[in-house]
Amino acid sequence: MTSVLRNTEPQEEKARMSQSPDFTTSSNFKAKTATTSAPPMEHAPPTKNTLELPAEEELIMEEQSLYGLDEELEKTLEAIYRDEPKDDCLTSRPSWANKAEYLLAQVGYSVGLSTIWRFPYLCLHNGGGSFIIIYMFMLALVGVPLLVMEIALGQRLHQGSIGVWKNMTPWCSGVGYSSFMVCFVVGLYYSVLMAWSLYYLVQSFQSPLPWAMCPFLNNSSSFDPECSRTASTTYFWYRHVLRTTDEIELGGLPAMHLCISLLVTWLIICISLVRGLKSTGKMLYVSVLLPYIIFVCVLIRSLMLKGADFGIRSLLAAQVPALYSVDVWRRTGNHLFLSMGSGFGCFTAISSYIPRSNNCIMDASAVALLNLLISVTATVFVFATMGYLATVNSEKCYVKNAERVMNLVTAGVLPPELRLPESLFRHMSYTYPRWFGNLPEPVRVVAQPYLSNCDLSEQLKEVMEGPGVAFVAFTEIIAVFAGSTFWAIIVFLFLVATGLSTMQGIMQGIITPLLDTFAVTRRHSTLLTVGVCTSMSLGSFFFVQPAGSYYVNLLDDYWASLPLFVILIVENVSMAWIYGARRFHADLIIILGRPISSVYRWLWSLVSPLLLLVLFVIILIHLYLRPITYMAWNSSISNEVLQSYPPWGKALLGLLTSLTVLPIPVCAAYILLHKMPPPPAGAMQHPDTDFFKGDAKEENQKTRLRLSPGQIKRKTSKFR
């Protein structure tokens, strides 16, 4: 536990303020608020003896104009500053050892496994570059403002999601409980994704790799016929790792190897959390930095693959019609909030261990930009590897077409003009399309029904979504690499570390609210951590049964976004319309000690809630009108088939969504029945939740003197 600096008001500051009888209290506050983050002055400011009163009034008006402070905001700032606790405030709340650990925690939580396998898939099937443009637009208008809100609340109130919303708006205090419940459910199945990666990592310490070829039948030299009808990597994923059933309704006992992998996964998670921020912070250097070092290596290797240039060109080709597609906007917004992690309460929990003077706007912008950068970079990697796979599969497809045509010509089904010259078999992907295109049109029409479409673009569209990208497509690429064992180890080590950093953030969103809400848990934090990890590990065993992967897809693809949008809408509305966007904007000015653009007020008040509501309605309509589907393994044909979830699938989604958002109306009804008053004007400045005052004081102590007009212009030009 780290000690916190005492918040002792310097006597010199009080003396200086008391010797300014010619300024009103409001004027003093306006001047101090407007210049809180200015650098120390090189010369003493002009005093009453050297500056006439009209000049002072002109200076104050100039400050107001430059900072965009209207009269109502000034009154809000004055009330907040008056309510700001001036007494010494000590706290035993732990904190991150340094800013680096804090940023690693935020970035590690935000950049999860979905960044690797969902963002590239959405890019491919939703307009390529157009999808990225829409994503950046929504990130700027909604993603960053909501991220600023969650981080600012956590670092200001130093509470988890439950405590934050109790202090902010008691009417909406249930949103904290909803965030806690969503975190719990997501943590159950997300740990299974990490367990799959861990199992592949262990299997990678073999040569040859176990998924590189089909297994032999027992006491036989023949391959398993089910594997011979499909790719060995696909067979290994479905039949060896998952041991999946053909339908979601078929049951079975969990696979022992996955149970062991899941237990080891939760053991690693528990060890990284058991000593609080001390162990978590040190583990972050491994779980966050190591994946990106590995990622750079595999990215360079992927760019050297044959056909990588085709994949990247496909990514850069923006499809303009996608910009006007409602379905593309729906998918983009859905992925944005799921990948960023807003609404789960994890950003609030992580930032609750940072001094209140921390620049939350800069941190939120950095996290959002890094998330975008890593998403785009991961997409380049995936498209490069998929371009390679598309090239290889296209060549195989042309060879199969040629063999089929030759057999049909020999059998007399097709005319002899379709007999291929021997020279075509050397470079099928280049020579065969040209040769076939030069044939007479009647001959091409006769042969067309017997041929498969081997175009590179069509082969690229076969890219899988979800875990299949990592556990099927990547393993297929690794199997043909020189030194495949080495590349398999580092790729799955990358996936395990990425999953661990995200799970650490999710667990902070669960453990921190418990520590803040129940005082007894703070005395036994280690026992609490072990207990939470144990209970969640038992619950996650449900997802390692034979049909467990289908439930993972159901929750991750369809359920997670439903309560998340409800939580985000309630959070946004409660902050902007109940607590007040103007007051929250003033709080941020007090926190940062410098002016903030008023654009955030409009984004919080109008743009964000409206866009969130529209997206939520579109998602509900889409979910109601269209069937929910999943990719299932059909053992009879040894291939994936698209199946619809049974009718109870939507009922399960509705039940889980209702349970997780139920605390919101329940808490509001409780407040209404007990006629509890609304939160006070200084809810975010309540002494019971105001920590790290000394840090804020130490940072801003030298910036309370007035600036000259020239300094004010230079200081504020970048905020206008």
Give the range among 59-63, 256-260, 406-410 with minimum mean pLDDT: 59-63
Tokens 């866009």 map to which residue?
Answer: 611
Structure tokens at 426: 């050397």
* pLDDT score of 257: 93
**C-alpha separations of 502 from 191, 491, 602 in Å:** 10, 17, 31
Query: Rounded to whole angstroms, what are the CA distances from 453 to 128, 384, 425?
Result: 22, 21, 18
**Cα separations (Å) of 180 from 345, 511, 527?**
7, 9, 19
State how far the Cα of 587 lies from the Cα of 153, in Å rounded to an integer. Answer: 10
pLDDT at 106: 93
How far apart CA 677 and CA 658 sit, in angstroms, is 27
pLDDT-derived band at 492 (thresholds 50, 70, 90) equals very high
* pLDDT of amino acid 509: 93
Report the distance separating Cα 159 and Cα 515, nearest Å.
9
What is the b/e burial string over 689-700, where b = at least 16 CB atoms within 10 angstroms of the residue's CB? bbbbbbbbbebb
Give every CB contact of residue 714 below 8 A, 6+ residues apart in sequence.
none
Q: Which residues are annotated as a binding site?
A: 108, 111, 339, 371
Say whether pLDDT at 253 is over 90.
Answer: no
**pLDDT of 362 higher than 70:** yes
**Residue 223, strand partner residues:** 216
- Mean pLDDT score, 284-311: 87
C-alpha distances out from residue 569 to 330, 599, 648, 667, 696, Å: 16, 19, 27, 16, 31
Is 676 exposed, middle or buried, given 0-12, 13-18 or 19+ CB atoms closer than 10 A?
Answer: exposed
Which CB contacts under 8 angstroms, 24+ apart, belong to 413-416?
A: 414/446, 414/447, 414/450, 415/443, 415/446
Q: How far apart are CA 498 and CA 289, in angstroms?
A: 9
Helices and strands of the chain, counted as H and E runs: 37, 2
pLDDT of residue 708: 38
How remote is the C-alpha of 183 from its chain's centroid?
13
Distances (CA, A) of 185 to 182, 188, 571, 660: 5, 5, 20, 9
* First and final C-alpha spacing in the chain: 41
Query: How far apart are the C-alpha atoms of 215 and 236, rounded to whole Å?
Result: 9
For 323, what's the count of Cα atoms within 13 Å in the CB-facing half-sphere? Answer: 8
pLDDT of 592 above 90: no
Residue 74's pLDDT is: 56
Segment 314-345, tens digit of pLDDT: 877 767 788 888 888 998 988 998 888 899 99
Question: Of residues 408 and 201, which shows the higher confidence score?
Answer: 201
Per mean pLDDT, which range of 36-40, 132-136, 499-503 is the poorest? 36-40
Query: CA-CA distance, 47 to 142, in Å (whole number)?
Result: 45
Is beta strand 629-634 parallel, antiparallel or unpaired with respect to 639-644? antiparallel
- Cα(260)–Cα(381) distance, integer angstroms: 31
Q: For residues 70-98, b (16+ Cβ closer than 10 Å) or e, as one string? A: eeebbebbbbbbeeeeeeebebebbbbee
Three-state DSSP class for residue 577: helix
Which pLDDT tens digit goes with each residue over 677-695? 555 444 454 433 333 333 3
Rounded average pLDDT over 289-307: 87
Which class for 332: exposed (0-12), middle (13-18), buried (19 or more C-beta within 10 A)? Answer: buried
Output the pLDDT for position 59: 40
- Segment 136-152 shows an average pLDDT of 93
Residue 23 has pLDDT above 70, yes or no: no
DSSP secondary structure string, 47-100? -TTTS-HHHHHHHHHHHHHHHT--HHHHHHHHHHHHHS--S---------SSHH
The SS3 call for residue 3 is coil
CA distance 550 to 242: 10
**C-beta neighbour count of 606 within 10 angstroms:** 12
> Residue 86 is encoded by which pair of tokens?
């001036």
pLDDT at 631 over 90: no
Establish how many alpha carbons lie within 13 A of residue 185's alpha carbon, considering only the half-sphere containing its beta carbon.
22
In angstroms, the CA 718 to CA 720 distance is 6
Of residues 586, 542, 663, the one with CA closest to residue 195: 542
Instruction: Fill in the amino acid letter for 161.
Output: S
Q: In the chain, pLDDT over 90 holds for what percent of residues?
A: 32
* Alpha carbon of residue 662 to chain centroid: 24
Tell me the CA distances in angstroms from 265 to 194, 199, 259, 350, 460, one per residue in order: 7, 10, 10, 22, 34
Partners of 643 in beta bridges: 630
Mean pLDDT, residues 89-114? 83
Residues placed in the known binding site for Na(+) = 108, 111, 339, 371
Q: pLDDT at position 307, please? A: 83
Could you give the domains of the chain?
11-90+692-719 (no CATH), 99-392+464-673 (1.20.1740.10)
The per-residue pLDDT for 706 is: 34
Distance CA 507, CA 563 (A): 18
pLDDT score of 71: 56
- Which DSSP state fits 449? G
Tokens of 58: 């002109």
The Cα-based distances of 436 to 64, 294, 310, 439 in angstroms read 75, 44, 22, 5
Six-digit token pair at 2? 């780290």
pLDDT at 534 over 90: yes
DSSP characters for 174-203?
Answer: HHHHHHHHHHHHHHHHHHHHHHHHHHHHHH
SS3 for 95-147, per residue?
CCCCHHHHHHHHHHHHCCHHHHHCHHHHHHHCCCHHHHHHHHHHHHHHHHHHH
Which residue carries 């556990």 as its tokens?
471
The three-state secondary structure class of 643 is strand
Q: Which residues pair with 633 in a beta bridge?
A: 640
Tokens 């009269």 — which residue? 71
Helix (H) or strand (E) holding 261: helix 256-273
Residues near 363 by beta carbon (within 8 Å), at least 6 away in sequence:
102, 103, 106, 151, 351
